[in-house]
Structure 1
């Protein structure tokens, strides 16, 4: 099976004048149905790698291919609807999560992607319903981001990423770090169930094709991961 995502010899150097590398010649492949765990010591570049793959950081060398095409061939806005980064902590945004969700749906690249999904017979998951499955009351969607707890905002941000749909791969930066074990287990179950190879899966076509997942919890890596990449060794 051809890779869904390929990272080839990716290098990013610090811009502090030292020229030292944060990431040096990183290469990896992700196939459909995989949950690739990214591990490594603090400061080894895990989050930086995900941001480079999402084309949020400018790297000096290497390339990232989705289904054999570069982000520039897709166009960066369209590429980001297909390769979606979910931060560990959502930035302190103005307004409410519901307003943010509606704003994101209004972007032209998102509208184009939604039209493509409809032609393919794929549907968007209900973001509010997903969050509710994880213990997030619907009323919280109408509250200011700054009033939400870390766990609430983390679950809502992930529900938004899934609810927007269309992403071939989600880049997850410790998506359950602020959650209690019960909530984390519920999130894990949903994410894994949406993958194409899941034994008991959500309706086909509603979720990502693969996950690239940063976690510091070995137990979680064993539960959800299909394999692990340790950046400390690179």
Structure 2
């Protein structure tokens, strides 16, 4: 059986005239249920790798396969929905998180998504106890009040913005692989662990292991795998199924 995601011979060179490689012949497979931790020194190309996997950076050679199919066979907008990159911190955006949620839902690449629809009436505090993904409910598990969704992005704290952006990326549904770039870097230790547990619980069980090292029950209602950058050794130990060190390849 082919892996869920396969990166083969990925090479990206600097455009500063030196021709040196940021990524050189990088290969990696990701299986369903995995949390692959990407480790490396600052400047080693971790974020660049995730952006290449998401087809946000142009690389010189190599190929990326999802379910053994090239990214171009899906169409890049659809592929970016299926393999989704979530940055460490959201860019400073106009409007509110709720505005962005409604905009994302309007994209044609999401029309076939089976994710649960969230209406603006959810701001009034109504909730649903079923297992469908929902960005607002997910964020509320992490201490984000629903009224924050109607505030301007510029007025949110770093931790609030990070949690809302993460809840949007995960809760909107449709992604099979989520690329996480230090998703909890602005959070305190207690909130960090709440986020970790939520993210891990959404994955399907790993075939070779019944659960992750921290024993979180996996429900399989969200993405199928994560590729996760973290500088926290303890977080890597808690969440990762394996680690790839890109500075030693």
TM-score with structure 2 length normalisation? 0.88
- CA drift of 1:201 comes to 2.8
CA contact under 8 A between 1:101 and 1:160: conserved in structure 2?
Answer: yes
For the residue of structure 1 that corresponds to 2:9, the secondary structure is strand
Q: Does 1:168 align with 2:176?
A: yes
Write the distance in 1 (CA, Å) between the matches of 2:28 and 2:217: 28
- CA drift of 1:2 comes to 2.5
CA contact under 8 A between 1:10 and 1:59: conserved in structure 2?
Answer: yes
TM-score with structure 1 length normalisation? 0.93
Q: Deviations over 1:38-65 (max 9, x none)?
A: 0000000000000000000000000011
Write the distance in 2 (CA, Å) between the matches of 1:126 and 1:20: 43
Q: Which runs of 5+ in 2 are unaligned?
A: 116-130, 206-210
Write the distance in 1 (CA, Å) between the matches of 2:30 and 2:8: 12
CA contact under 8 A between 1:81 and 1:113: conserved in structure 2?
Answer: no
Write the distance in 2 (CA, Å) between the matches of 1:230 and 1:76: 28
Write the distance in 2 (CA, Å) between the matches of 1:112 and 1:19: 42
For the residue of structure 2 that corresponds to 1:2, the secondary structure is coil
Q: Does 1:200 align with 2:208?
A: no
Write the distance in 1 (CA, Å) between the matches of 2:114 and 2:141: 24
1:31-46 equivalences under 5 Å are 31-46=31-46
Write the distance in 1 (CA, Å) between the matches of 2:85 and 2:145: 24
Q: Deviations over 1:138-182 (max 9, x none)?
A: 111101111111110110011001121111100000000000001
- CA drift of 1:15 comes to 1.1
What is aligned with 2:55? Answer: 55
More helix, by proportion: 1
RMSD: 1.3
Write the distance in 1 (CA, Å) between the matches of 2:82 and 2:29: 16
Write the distance in 2 (CA, Å) between the matches of 1:61 and 1:165: 30
- CA drift of 1:124 comes to 4.9
Q: How many residues align?
A: 225
- CA drift of 1:200 comes to 2.0
Write the distance in 1 (CA, Å) between the matches of 2:54 and 2:85: 6
For the residue of structure 2 that corresponds to 1:200, the secondary structure is coil
What is aligned with 1:119? Answer: none
Q: Deviations over 1:53-83 (max 9, x none)?
A: 0000000000011110111000001101100
Write the distance in 1 (CA, Å) between the matches of 2:53 and 2:166: 18
What is aligned with 2:160? Answer: 152
